[in-house]
């Protein structure tokens, strides 16, 4: 059995074929990685309790140097306002 080795002097077609192959593999594994990351993100339960989520959303709305004053929530419907009572 004759053992042949790969040539080191690649032609331009060999280089282009390798570049296309490597680009395709990078796109394929990148998509797989994004899908896995999405599944992990969606499957993980939220670490913020529902009552804390509202407070955290209010606090993150302010810019870093701005002071935020939390307003009490009111059980009014869309047609009423809290001040009309």
Q: Is 24 helix (H, G, I), strand (E, B) or coil?
A: helix
Asked if 36 and 45 touch (Cβ cutoff 8 Å), the reply is: no
Measure the CA–CA gap between 78 and 85, rounded to whole angstroms: 14
Q: Coil, strand, or helix at residue 19?
A: helix
Q: What is the pLDDT of residues 8-43, one digit of tens each?
A: 788 999 999 999 999 999 999 999 999 999 999 999
Report the candidate in 40, 43, 42 with the shortest Cα–Cα distance to residue 32.
40
The domain ranges of the chain are 11-44
Query: For 37-79, what is each residue's pLDDT tens digit?
Result: 999 999 987 776 666 555 555 555 556 666 666 666 666 566 6
- Look up residue 64 and give its two tokens: 């870093």
The residue count of the chain comes to 85
Q: What is the pTM assigned to this prediction?
A: 0.44
């Amino acid at each position: 059995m004759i053992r042949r080795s790969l040539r080191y002097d690649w032609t331009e077609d060999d280089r282009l074929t390798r570049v296309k192959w490597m680009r395709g593999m990078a796109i394929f594994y990148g998509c797989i990685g994004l899908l896995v990351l999405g599944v992990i993100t969606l499957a993980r339960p939220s670490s913020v309790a529902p009552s804390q989520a509202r407070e955290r959303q209010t606090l993150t709305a302010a810019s870093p140097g701005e002071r935020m004053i939390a307003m009490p929530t009111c059980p009014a419907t869309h047609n009423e306002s809290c001040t009309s009572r």
